Amino acid sequence: MQQVIVVGCGIIGAMLAYELTQSGLQVTVLDRQPPAQAATGAALGVLMGVISQKTKGRAWAMRQISILRYAELIPELETALGHALPWNPQGILKLGFSEEDLVKWQALAELRQQQGWRLEFWSPDQVMAHCPQVQPSDLKAGLYSPQDGQIDPTALTLALVEAAQRRGACFRFDIEVQRLAANGRLQTSAGELEADWIVIAAGLGSTPLLPVPQVTLSPVLGQAIRVKTTKPLGKPEFQPIITGQDIHLVPLGSCEYWVGATVEFDLAENAPIPEPLEEVWQGAIALWPELAAAVRISSWSGLRPRPVNRPAPIVEPLLGYPHVLLATGHYRNGVLLAPATAQIVRDAIAGSA
Ligand SMILES: Cc1cc2nc3c(=O)[nH]c(=O)nc-3n(C[C@H](O)[C@H](O)[C@H](O)COP(=O)(O)OP(=O)(O)OC[C@H]3O[C@@H](n4cnc5c(N)ncnc54)[C@H](O)[C@@H]3O)c2cc1C
Burial category of 293 from C-beta neighbours within 10 Å (exposed 0-12, middle 13-18, buried 19 and up) = exposed
- Say if residue 133 is in the same domain as residue 163: no
Mean pLDDT of the chain: 96
Ligand 1 and 33: CB distance under 6 A:
yes
Q: Which of 282, 304, 326 is the last residue of a domain?
A: 304
pLDDT of residue 137: 78
Amino acid letter, 254: S
pLDDT of 270 over the 80 cut: no
- Say if residue 210 is in the same domain as residue 338: yes
Higher pLDDT, 7 or 270: 7
Closest C-alpha residue for ligand 1 atom 21: 40
Average pLDDT over residues 147-167: 98
Helix (H) / strand (E) element for 47: namely strand 46-47
pLDDT of residue 266: 86
Amino acid letter, 241: I
Average pLDDT over residues 164-191: 97
Average pLDDT over residues 39-61: 97
- Say if residue 298 is in the same domain as residue 250: yes
Distance from residue 142's CA to the centre of ligand 1 (Å): 30
User: CATH number for the domain including 233?
Assistant: 3.30.9.10
Distance from residue 51's CA to the centre of ligand 1 (Å): 22
- Say if residue 46 is in the same domain as residue 26: yes
Q: Are 303 and 325 in contact (CB under 8 A)?
A: no
Alpha-carbon torsion (80, 83, 87, 88), positive or negative: positive
pLDDT digits (tens, 9 = 90+) for 99-119: 998 999 999 999 999 999 999
Range of the domain at 318: 3-85+152-216+309-351
Q: For residue 175, give the ligand 1 atom closest to its CA.
A: 43
Q: How confident is the model at residue 353 (pLDDT cuts 50, 70, 90)?
A: low
Average pLDDT over residues 282-304: 96
Average pLDDT over residues 38-66: 97
- Say if residue 167 is in the same domain as residue 264: no
Distance from residue 128's CA to the centre of ligand 1 (Å): 35
pLDDT digits (tens, 9 = 90+) for 312-339: 999 999 999 999 999 999 999 999 999 9
What's the structural domain count of the chain?
2
pLDDT of 136 over the 80 cut: no
CA distance 175 to 120: 47
Neighbouring-strand partners of residue 296: 227
Neighbouring-strand partners of residue 244: 95, 247
The closest alpha carbon to 240, from 48, 97, 73, belongs to 48
pLDDT of 11 over the 70 cut: yes
pLDDT of 130 over the 80 cut: yes
Q: What is the largest CA-CA distance in the chain?
A: 63
Ligand 1 and 69: CB distance under 6 A:
no
Average pLDDT over residues 228-240: 97
Q: For residue 176, give the ligand 1 atom closest to its CA.
A: 42
Q: For residue 204, give the ligand 1 atom closest to its CA.
A: 30
Neighbouring-strand partners of residue 200: 7, 326
Neighbouring-strand partners of residue 102: none
Ligand 1 and 90: CB distance under 6 A:
no
pLDDT of 172 over the 80 cut: yes
Q: Are 192 and 175 in contact (CB under 8 A)?
A: no
- Would you list the DSSP string of 251-290? EEETTEEEEE---B----SSS--HHHHHHHHHHHHHHSGG
Burial code (b: 16+ CB inside 10 Å, e: under 16) for 49-77 equals bbbbeeeeeebbebbbbbbebbeebbeeb
Which 8-state DSSP code applies to residue 182? T
Length of the chain in terms of residues written? 353
The percent of residues above 70 in pLDDT, for the chain, comes to 100
User: CATH number for the domain including 202?
Assistant: 3.50.50.60
Ligand 1 and 45: CB distance under 6 A:
yes
pLDDT of 302 over the 80 cut: yes
pLDDT digits (tens, 9 = 90+) for 189-205: 999 999 999 999 999 99
pLDDT of residue 199: 98
pLDDT of 212 over the 90 cut: no
Average pLDDT over residues 203-211: 96
Q: Which of 287, 304, 321 is the last residue of a domain?
A: 304
pLDDT of 269 over the 90 cut: no
- Say if residue 224 is in the same domain as residue 300: yes
The closest alpha carbon to 86, from 165, 158, 164, 10, belongs to 158
pLDDT of 129 over the 80 cut: yes
Closest C-alpha residue for ligand 1 atom 5: 43
Q: For residue 331, give the ligand 1 atom closest to its CA.
A: 19
Closest C-alpha residue for ligand 1 atom 44: 31
Ligand 1 and 151: CB distance under 6 A:
no
